[in-house]
Chains A and B, each alone.
Chain A
Amino acid sequence: MELNAGTAGTGSHKTASERDEVAALESLQFTDEIRRLMSAPATDNASSFTALLELPAPQAVQLIHSPDSAKLIAAPAPAPNVDEFKGSFNFPFNSGLIERATRFSLFAGDGSINDNNKSNSPEPTSYNSSANLQKPVKSEPAETESYQPLVSDPTVENRSTKRKDREKVKGSTKKSKTGAKDSSDDAEKLPYVHVRARRGQATDSHSLAERARREKINARMKLLQELVPGCSKISGTALVLDEIINHVQSLQRQVEFLSMRLAAVNPRIDFNLDSVFTAESGSLMDSNFSGMVMPMMLPEVQLNGNRQQYPQQLHFDAFQQPVWGTEEVCNNYITPENSLLSYDSSGNSASLHSNQLKMEL
């Protein structure tokens, strides 16, 4: 990468001539960046501007987040410092670089001003930092376009097209420049997803839309993972989907079992709507939601080997041997439910309540 090449080559230049300037400008953290800016192009001709381009963004971040950023604004002008540099160093592209450095210092100051403005806004800090990243980076490519006739570097043109694509897509950025992927929670906070092209990725509208869609889908998958018990540990989308499918099938089978049980149980007891409903409203509030479902799944797992064939087997069995089937189902349901009610602390009151009602009946 040109950045590393640039910084590696600066070792020899740093020691001799820069020491004086460093001593004079030690209060500004600016000095390191300016130094690197000045000396980086000495190594490479073609890559000089790109090195210059790539430097400002991370450096700009450091500048913005440095506590001394206020000094940048307060300082009379960074321009005189640059003039000092100008006299001491000899470079092939002197004037162009100096102009670029002044502009960098100027908009770095602008970036910090924007930072101060933005810090008052109620945005979360991740947006704050990424939005601040956007400002200096965006103004940087603005200058590359002005220097377009000077430099015919493909990377520079790539960056300008990237900026255009970014401007097509909506404002605040989601991803940091370093390429670290943000959590998909951000997608859920916004009413719609803001997508930004990462470095080295295709920037046409199709891939951007695809990426937005994929992020939406990943957000939904995370929601489902939370909803389905025991799914949060699993990594890998295919396995998570398998778990979800298992869960849905088990729930549907539970509904079938319960309706079978209700069909078998009902002829014995007279159906009184009021008493049932009061019992329901009392006990429904007490019981824990997930606690009910989880132990229910265990007998399911024991009973069922194969997903697809079981419901048909159930119907067949129900038709032929209903007594045996319901008894088996009842036995399977009573024991985990009793254990369930004992596990669940709030469920104890539910069992008490239902027992009282049964005694009344």
Chain B
Amino acid sequence: MNKYNPPRMNPSSLRSRFATRFLRTLSKINAQKPTSSSSPTEIFRRYRRIKAAADKSMAYSVRSRRTWSRAMLWKLRTRPCGRRSVKTSTIIKSREARKTRHEKQNKNTTTTTTTTTGEDGVVFGVEADELRELVPGGEAMDLYNLLDETAHYIKCLTTQVQVMKKIADFYSP
């Protein structure tokens, strides 16, 4: 009978990076919880925190290489968080400065490309707007970069879903 050797994972792959980070955050969240927390409000609150942790760990795994990860991190940092308002204000300022600079660059490219009335600009009008809403940070991007970001975003989302499902499977009875 053959011994089952699990194949080695690439330690720097997106999946492993996300998995480690998310598990760490998850254990932190669970350490915080009170013993009896089956009330709906508590579960809901924890759900929000877990979802934010998942998004944040995903964005951190991508490391600001992508526009959507930067936008997501910025969004998560500026969410109304009662306890950490002082810290976030300084972070917000630096983030804002960086983001407005980035958006200005993007807007420059946007203005030059959207003035040209190619048939693609007309055809993709409605769907492109919807896509911009879905992909974080997609508002200030031209169509080509938007498609690029969407592709990477889809890939990262599928990784996230896979890892989270594995974790949930592991802990379901």
Contacts and interface: CB of A to CB of B under 8 A. Distances in A.
Interface in A265-310: 265-269, 271, 273, 276-277, 279-287, 289, 292-293, 296
A177 B44 CA distance: 64
A251 B44 contact: no
Interface in A231-249: 237-238, 241-242, 244-245, 247-249
Given A241-B127, A284-B9, A206 B51 contact: no
Contacts of A244: 131, 150, 154
Interface in A38-61: none
Given A217-B147, A245-B127, A271-B30, A321 B161 contact: no
Contacts of B157: 248, 251-252, 255
Interface stretch (A7-15, A121-129, A132-140, A349-357): A349-357
B91 interface: no
Nearest to B158: A293
Nearest to A340: B165
A220 B161 contact: no
Given A210-B118, A214-B118, A263-B50, A296 B161 contact: yes
Nearest to A279: B170
Contacts of B26: 262, 266, 271
Contacts of A248: 131, 134-135, 150, 153-154, 157
Nearest to A269: B171
A292 B161 contact: yes
Contacts of A285: 6-9
Contacts of B51: 255-256, 259-260
Interface string B125-158: 0011011001100000001100110110111011
Contacts of B123: 237-238
B40 A321 contact: yes
A221 B147 contact: yes
B76 interface: no
Contacts of A277: 19-20, 23
Contact of B169 (A217, A223, A337): A337
A352 to B, nearest CB: 8
B interface bracket (residues with beta carbon within 8 Å of A)? 35 or more
A237 B121 CA distance: 12
A224 interface: yes
B20 to A, nearest CB: 7
B127 A268 contact: no
Nearest to A258: B164
Interface string B100-127: 0000000000000100101110011001
A357 B170 CA distance: 9
B67 to A, nearest CB: 15
Contacts of B31: 271
Contacts of B50: 259, 262-263
Given A248-B157, A251-B158, A268 B173 contact: yes
Contacts of A282: 6
B54 A259 contact: yes
Contacts of A242: 127
B22 to A, nearest CB: 10
Nearest to B155: A227
B154 A247 contact: yes
B169 A354 contact: yes
A277 B18 CA distance: 12
B23 to A, nearest CB: 6
B160 A255 contact: yes
Nearest to A240: B127
B102 to A, nearest CB: 21
Nearest to B40: A322
A284 B162 contact: yes
Contact of A284 (B38, B119, B151, B163): B163
List 4 A-B pairs, minimum CB-CB distance, nearest first.
A241-B127, A263-B47, A220-B147, A259-B51
Given A251-B161, A259-B47, 16 more contacts: A210-B118, A214-B119, A217-B143, A238-B124, A238-B127, A248-B131, A261-B172, A262-B50, A265-B168, A268-B171, A271-B30, A280-B166, A292-B165, A293-B158, A318-B47, A337-B165
Interface of A: 206, 209-210, 213-214, 216-217, 220-221, 223-224, 227-228, 237-238, 241-242, 244-245, 247-249, 251-252, 254-256, 258-269, 271, 273, 276-277, 279-287, 289, 292-293, 296, 315, 318-323, 326, 330, 333-334, 337, 349, 353-354, 357-358
Interface of B: 4, 6-9, 15-16, 19-20, 23-24, 26-27, 30-31, 33, 37-38, 40-41, 43-44, 46-47, 49-51, 54-55, 113, 116, 118-120, 123-124, 127-128, 130-131, 134-135, 143-144, 147-148, 150-151, 153-155, 157-158, 160-173
8 contacts: A209-B116, A241-B128, A249-B134, A263-B46, A276-B167, A319-B40, A337-B169, A358-B170
